[in-house]
Homo-oligomer: A and B are copies of this chain.
Amino acid sequence: MTSGVTIAQAAAFAGVTIKTIRHYHRLGLVDEPRRDGSGYRRYGSSDLLRLVQVRTLAESGVPLSEIGALLGADPQRFAADLAEVKRRLTERIEELITRRDLLDRVANGDRALLPDRACALLDRAADLGFTSDEVAAYREGMVLARALVPDGFDDSLTEVEHALDDTRFVALIKQCWAAKDWEPDDPRIEELATAVADRFLANPALLAIPNGLQARTDATRYGLLNHHGEDQEPAMARLTTLVETKLRSAGVDIPHQ
């Protein structure tokens, strides 16, 4: 009268594989049941109960290494632990929900990298007549800035929002983009640098950009950010350097290199 079910039946009952059951035996999570004459495992209902308990906890995300202690605790301790497991599970569910919503951003390419506010700023730049290349370069700068100085990123967005209100400044920036293709010794660079520096000094809101940047970060990072991508454009490098020199001589504190 060999009573009890075989391992395959126990597995089907608990909704796991045979391997999983044996795994639990090896971990000591479920005691080995009685064996019949030929050495087959025979599971009784208490074994099945234990198996289902372990399975339910495991599927709720409790690590197998913790389940033993959990099921061994006294009832009120167990209830508390169970509530904690439930809380963590709820947390995980909510995380997955936000994760799902984030998937939409990945579908939209670059939008995945920047917060909504920054994307709005890029849209506005496009509206102001910047070419898509220019907008793309600006996006790249913002991504880099956020990676380098995450703390100050929101503030810098505010500053740039103000800067885009200054139509004179916007016009100058467009000219700077044109300077990209000039020869490094083109005399117009000197001229443009003076105009840009003057505009910076004329509008204190604009000065907040280099000032804020410098306050939030160290000189090295400032350089990395502000001179980013100049390897390919010597004219731009010279322009930036000239503007920085002019601002410095006007008393603005800008780190070197």
Contacts and interface: CB of A to CB of B under 8 A. Distances in A.
Interface in A87-128: 89-90, 92-93, 96-97, 99-100, 102-103, 105-107, 109-110, 112-113
B113 A60 contact: no
Contacts of A147: 5, 9-10, 12-13, 43, 48
B92 A96 contact: yes
Nearest to A89: B100
A56 B102 contact: yes
Given A45-B113, A45-B144, A60-B100, A227 B107 contact: no
A99 B46 CA distance: 22
Q: How many copies does the complex hold?
A: 2
Nearest to A78: B107
A77 to B, nearest CB: 12
A66 to B, nearest CB: 14
Given A1-B227, A96-B96, A112-B56, A103 B79 contact: no
